[in-house]
Amino acid sequence: MPQNRFADVRRFESIDSTNRYLLDEARAGAPDGVVAVADHQTAGRGRLGRTWEAPPGANLLLSVLLRPALEPADRHLATTAVALAAADAIAALGLAGAVGIKWPNDLVDGSGRKVAGVLAETDLVPASGSEGLPAPIVVGIGINVNWPDGDADLPPELRGQAVSLRMLAGGPVDRDGLLDGLLAALAPRAADLGLPAGRQRLSLDLLAVCTTIGTRVRVDLADGSFQGSATGISPEGHLLVASDGVTRTVVAGDVVHVRPGS
């Protein structure tokens, strides 16, 4: 029987950041498939240098260490694999259709409120102890499972911007069941990273649940911004935006922000 790729699950009552932990483990030569899960993070990391906060014991805070044999241009699909696995697991809770993916990888509800965020971090220089292994990607995801319980739980600036599975389901959600579902869904999705047809499947599956398609967006790049209509996802997982009569391909790494255009 094949061994479950994500069987090495390391649990922490409290840790600074599961992403930080797995990056350090990767530097020391940890293999593909290690998972870190925390009840609480004291220095949870979000995208764009932000922090990621959640009260102890309420939400799912986890990171996975992947070492996919991927060209640099395809490495962003590791984040897609984790976002899709989370969407699969949430759908299996009876919430199918309630949550989609805002390109490239935020999980949002039908009103665009954020359910989960994904942060991929990587080491560009192979560390001693990990020579010969494919370069690591640590993909962390924070899923709002049982917090907030309502808008009043949120700091004012997040009201109407974030939502939990508990709010969507109308009752408490089992974090361990969700973790098991996510890791089970991630195994085939991570395997897809290694195959051209698999990578295309990831892009197609992203297209199927992507809430950005059909909306007007403003894309903020490092050197300026433009507006257009999001029309699709390329086979490589990039966002296609029609703007001034041409279709522009937006690569995740270049984007500072995609938001509803004004």
Task: Report the interface residues with ligand BTN, using CB under 6 A.
Answer: 17-19, 41, 44-47, 50, 52, 61-63, 117-119, 140-142
CB of 193 to ligand BTN, least distance (A): 19
Query: Between 80 and 228, whose beta carbon lies closer to ligand BTN?
Result: 80
Query: Between 45 and 113, whose beta carbon lies closer to ligand BTN?
Result: 45
Residue nearest to ligand BTN (CB): 117
Label residue 111 exposed, middle or buried (CB < 10 Å: 0-12, 13-18, 19+). exposed
CB of 116 to ligand BTN, least distance (A): 8
Residue appearing with tokens 């939990």: 164
d(CA 166, CA 174): 9
CB of 2 to ligand BTN, least distance (A): 27
Query: Between 2 and 49, whose beta carbon lies closer to ligand BTN?
Result: 49
CB of 107 to ligand BTN, least distance (A): 9
Query: Between 53 and 200, whose beta carbon lies closer to ligand BTN?
Result: 53
CB of 243 to ligand BTN, least distance (A): 25
Query: Between 45 and 238, whose beta carbon lies closer to ligand BTN?
Result: 45
Query: Between 119 and 165, whose beta carbon lies closer to ligand BTN?
Result: 119
CB of 244 to ligand BTN, least distance (A): 30
